[in-house]
């Protein structure tokens, strides 16, 4: 029992980081995933990590243990949040395309989050989830949280990095990178539909008798949907690069928290 009480605080800290990671990380945090599965997976991985690093340096159960729980939870949330915002790239890109095509008012319910989502954004999000499993990226995501203890030990300086502003600066830079990637994904459709608007504008000057609102809306929908269908095979390469950027950004975040960059 004495050994149990010595090792229990360390296991709880490991469980806090991994549980917080699964709360916000993409795919695993989905409402479609049963809560029992999430809890069981978090506990199982916590036992694996604890067996590897938990018995080296027991954590004392004192008043500082509360701050240690907050720190470990924060590390897990940050890692999961960085992975999650890269999944929002397809939602943002879908919003850009929906506005140009004319689907901006036809939002639907996203079954992954329960919130409203753009029509094309939800389509690409489901495609991203399927490719996420096809690339075995979910295994890499589990490996990332397990390897985070090699980069960020249980006793770390996360609060100091937050006070210095390094973590907040990194998150802001990641947001700007995400918006840049989203615009790159949506750029072909946005550019073609912009040229379509220009053509329709010239048509109204040449033949004012045409009702531009009657002709323009179905024409933009046909052009937009056809272009999305043409570009759909290239989504394989786009999402592969997106997942590579996601794991590279998670590695950079661990470097920032560990003070290695």
Please compute Rg for the chain using Cα positions.
23
| pLDDT of res. 2 | 67
- Tell me which DSSP letter residue 19 carries: H
Helices (H), ranges, 61-211 = 65-101, 119-134, 137-151, 158-164, 166-206
Whole-structure pTM value:
0.82
**Domain extent at residue 44:** 2-258
- In Å, what is the CA distance from 137 to each residue of 26, 40, 221, 226, 232? 11, 20, 34, 30, 20
Domain count, the chain: 1
| pLDDT of res. 125 | 78
Q: What residues pair up with 209 in beta bridges, in sequence order?
A: none
Provide block-wise average pLDDT over 10 residues at a time, the chain (261 residues). Answer: 71 88 84 83 87 72 81 89 87 80 64 61 79 85 85 76 81 88 86 85 77 78 85 84 89 81 57
- Cα(209)–Cα(56) distance, integer angstroms: 81
| pLDDT of res. 118 | 65
């Amino acid at each position: 029992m004495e050994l149990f009480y010595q090792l229990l605080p360390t296991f709880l800290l490991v469980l806090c980081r991994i549980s917080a990671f699964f709360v916000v990380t993409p795919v695993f945090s989905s409402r479609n995933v049963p809560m029992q599965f999430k809890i069981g997976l978090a506990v199982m991985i916590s036992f694996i990590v604890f067996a590897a690093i938990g018995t080296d340096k027991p954590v004392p159960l004192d008043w500082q243990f509360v701050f240690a729980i907050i720190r470990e939870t924060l590390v897990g949330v940050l890692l999961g949040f960085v992975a999650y915002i890269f999944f929002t790239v397809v939602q943002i890109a879908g919003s850009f395309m929906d506005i140009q095509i004319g689907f901006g008012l036809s939002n639907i319910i996203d079954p992954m989050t329960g919130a409203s989502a753009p029509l094309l954004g939800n389509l690409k999000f489901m495609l991203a989830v399927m490719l996420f499993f096809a690339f075995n990226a979910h295994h890499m995501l589990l490996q990332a949280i397990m390897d985070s203890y090699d980069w960020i030990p249980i006793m770390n300086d996360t609060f100091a990095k937050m006070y210095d502003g390094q973590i907040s600066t990194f998150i802001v830079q990641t947001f700007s990178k995400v918006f840049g990637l989203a615009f790159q994904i949506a750029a072909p459709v946005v550019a073609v539909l912009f040229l379509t608007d220009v053509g329709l504008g010239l048509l109204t000057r040449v033949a004012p008798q045409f009702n531009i609102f009657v002709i323009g809306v179905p024409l933009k929908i046909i052009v937009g949907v056809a272009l999305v269908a043409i570009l759909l095979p290239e989504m394989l390469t786009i999402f592969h690069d997106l997942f590579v950027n996601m794991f590279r950004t998670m590695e950079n975040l661990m470097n920032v928290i560990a003070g290695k960059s």
